[in-house]
Amino acid sequence: MMPESASETMLKDIIQGPSEVEWRYEMRRECQEILPNLLLGPFQASKSLETLTSNRISHIVCIRDVKEAFSVRPRFPERFKYLVLDVEDNEEQNLIRLFPDAKQFIDTAISSGGRVLVHCNGGISLSPAFVVIRQTSVSRRKRDDEDDSDDLRCKGPDTIR
C-alpha cells in the first residue's frame, strides 16, 4: 500500500474533518462550536443550564416550528438574551425573510464579546441553515470588501448579492 500524498490527506481532512477531532454519535445531543463564539446544537443543549454556562453562552437563537412552541421555548430568559424565530419546518418555508434579524442578533452578540448558541429542535436542519446563511453572508461581505475593483465582480443574472 502506498503512503497518502499531501493532497489526499488534505482531501480526507476536508471530507472527514481533521483527525484530531473525534466525533462520537452521542455528540448529536450536545452543542458544538462551529465558528469562534458561534455554537450549533439541538434544543436539548439549550435546556441545560450547566451546558450553557460551561460554554459561556450569552445569547441564544431559538428556531422552532410553530407547532413546537409549547415545548421548544426559552428556558432561562433571566440569564440569557433570546431571539425566538417561529417557522414551519418544511421545504416551502421562506427562511430568507427571517435571516436579517437572526444575523443582526448574532453579529451584535459576537461583536460585544458574547457567545451564541443557535438551536432548533433536533439541531440538524433549521439551525444549521441559519449558521450557514450567516457565515456565507459574512464571507461574501469580507470578499466584497477585499475586492474593490468592480471589473472583477460577476454581474451575471445568477449572481446573488
What are phi and psi for residue 125, nearest 5 degrees? -135, -70
Classify domain 33-145 at the CATH class level: alpha beta
**In the chain, where are the structural domains located?**
33-145
> Would the pLDDT of 5 be above 80?
no
Give me the pLDDT at residue 142, please.
Answer: 64
Q: Which three cell numbers stand for residue 93?
A: 418555508
- AA letter at 147: D
31 is catalytic: no
Interatomic CA distance for residues 62 and 81, integer angstroms: 10
The conformation of residue 19, written as its DSSP 8-state character, comes to T
Q: Which three cell numbers stand for residue 46?
A: 439549550
pLDDT in tens, 17-72: 556 656 565 656 788 898 999 999 999 999 999 999 999 999 999 999 889 899 99
Give me the pLDDT at residue 124, please.
Answer: 75
Interatomic CA distance for residues 80 and 60, integer angstroms: 7
Q: Which residue in the list 31, 62, 120, 154 is annotated as catalytic?
A: 120
Interatomic CA distance for residues 71 and 64, integer angstroms: 9
Interatomic CA distance for residues 88 and 108, integer angstroms: 26
